């Protein structure tokens, strides 16, 4: 099973791809779609759409997993992030891919073992779980890979029961 994890953002959207074989997880690719922080929202959303379209076309995942919005600093931030998530959901739906959503707490619990882990702990555990301890992963990429790991582990448990 190949899983694409997506950490949505209106300025940077991280993505990470892994393959699950039995109880092992293998890193395939990751990156960050930089959307141009000072560009108008409509341009950033178009860049997001085109960038994600390219990632999906190149890597053809079996499943997609995305972080679920649970809070935002303010209403405007939540609305802008909602627009970005809408673009992501639309691109995934165009391809008929299964989509799974996880809260940040679920991701931290699955990857680190504690729902209150910080970003550096998530990055460190992603590196360990994917055998990439010495390969630095940008924060948005590590978050996306953590989301993919969460789904890969959750789907493994569903198959086992």
pLDDT reported for residue 157: 52
For residues 67 and 32, the answer to whether their CB atoms sit within 8 Å is no
Does residue 8 sit in helix, strand or coil?
Answer: coil
Which of 100, 98, 12, 111 lies closest to 61 in space, CA to CA?
98
Interior CA angle at 142 toward 66 and 22, to 5°? Answer: 75
Which stretches in the chain have pLDDT values below 70?
A: 70-73, 133-136, 156-161
Q: Which residues are catalytic?
A: 7, 67, 140
Q: What is the pLDDT of residues 96-130, one digit of tens each?
A: 999 999 999 999 999 998 888 888 889 889 998 89
pLDDT reported for residue 160: 40
């Amino acid at each position: 099973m190949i899983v694409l994890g997506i950490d949505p953002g209106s300025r940077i959207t991280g993505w990470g791809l892994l393959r699950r074989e039995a109880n092992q997880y293998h890193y395939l690719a990751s990156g960050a779609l930089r959307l141009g922080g000072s560009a108008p929202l409509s341009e950033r959303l178009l860049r997001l759409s085109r960038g994600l379209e390219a990632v999906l076309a190149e890597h053809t995942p079996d499943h997609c997993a995305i972080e679920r919005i649970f809070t935002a600093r303010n209403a405007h931030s939540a609305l802008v992030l909602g627009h970005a998530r809408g673009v992501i959901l639309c691109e995934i739906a165009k391809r008929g891919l299964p989509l799974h959503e996880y809260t940040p707490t679920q991701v931290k619990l699955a990857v680190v073992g504690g729902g209150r882990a910080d970003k550096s702990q998530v990055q460190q555990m992603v590196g360990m779980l994917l055998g990439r301890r010495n390969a630095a992963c940008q924060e948005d990429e590590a978050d996306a890979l953590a989301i993919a790991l969460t789904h890969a582990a959750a789907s493994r448990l569903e198959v086992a029961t």
